Amino acid sequence: AQKITQTQPGMFVQEKEAVTLDCTYDTSDPSYGLFWYKQPSSGEMIFLIYQGSYDQQNATEGRYSLNFQKARKSANLVISASQLGDSAMYFCAMREVSNAGNMLTFGGGTRLMVKP
Amino acid sequence: KAGVTQTPRYLIKTRGQQVTLSCSPISGHRSVSWYQQTPGQGLQFLFEYFSETQRNKGNFPGRFSGRQFSNSRSEMNVSTLELGDSALYLCASSLLAVDSYEQYFGPGTRLTVT
């Protein structure tokens, strides 16, 4: 079964508007972390935001916030005030703490296109 | 502080050849992970090294191997290359401390097998 599901292969958003990218996950590990990465066309993965499974509050980093709904196993990324430079692939990923080490499981990604 | 560096950035090889990719982590980071990214399979974990020991291995054939040196630099090797090995290979380094969870990725090595 897919551990990380991103159901939106592609999305358009108007510049300066907010956009939500969906991510659902599946794990039986009580301790896990959820990540969002941005991948521009250059290929490098850029860390955006992190949410731990025991964190009480939703994570925020500048224009990025993570809408964490633990019971629904969802971790949606919200980008406020979209900019043209936000056009990129976005990946949701999970690290299960029970796995010794630092392995990330990635979703299939969402391509975000910001329209001027 | 310098970021994660990967060499070479681009590589073209022929089927049956072997290839070695290199990754230098951020100074002080002891965990290095490797990922393969293809259009068909997406991002898949290859393996992780910590203090010169392989801690985790993904579901890849034995043709894929890696190692880590005492300075935390890591190499991955692919022997007997196949067309399907064409991919972007990403390396990530991490401090792997209790309160440090981020993995920092390098720019990747784009491998083309002809």
pLDDT, position A99: 67
Q: B31 pairs with which residues across the strands?
A: B50, B94
Distance from C-alpha of B106 to C-alpha of B6, rounded to nearest angstrom: 6
**A49 exposed, middle or buried (CB, 10 Å; 0-12, 13-18, 19+)?**
buried
Q: How far apart are the first and last CA of chain B?
A: 37
- Chain B: residues touching A (Cβ < 8 Å): 31, 33, 35, 42-45, 48, 50, 55-56, 58, 88, 90, 92, 94, 96, 101-108, 110
- Report, as an integer, the average pLDDT of A98-104: 75
* pLDDT for A97 beyond 80: no
* pLDDT for A1 beyond 60: no
| More confident call, B50 vs A109 | A109
Q: What is the percent of chain B with per-residue pLDDT over 70, rounded to a whole number?
A: 94
Angle, CA of B49, B58 and A22, to the nearest 5°: 105
| More confident call, B87 vs B55 | B87
Q: What is the percent of chain A with per-residue pLDDT over 70, rounded to a whole number?
A: 97
pLDDT, position B35: 97
- A–B: how many Cβ contacts below 8 A? 63
Which own/partner pairs from A62-65 qualify as long-range (CB within 8 Å, at least 24 positions apart)?
A64/A36
Residue B100: pLDDT band by 50, 70, 90 thresholds?
A: low
Q: What is the percent of chain B with per-residue pLDDT over 90, rounded to a whole number?
A: 81
Q: What is the percent of chain A with per-residue pLDDT over 90, rounded to a whole number?
A: 81
Sorted by sequence, the CB contacts under 8 Å of residue B39 that are 6+ apart come out as none
Contact B105 A45 (CB under 8 A): yes
Q: B56 pairs with which residues across the strands?
A: B48
Note the pLDDT tens digit of each residue in A55-71: 989 999 999 999 999 99
pLDDT, position A103: 87
Q: Token match 């991510």: residue?
A: A23
Distance from C-alpha of B78 to C-alpha of B19, rounded to nearest angstrom: 5
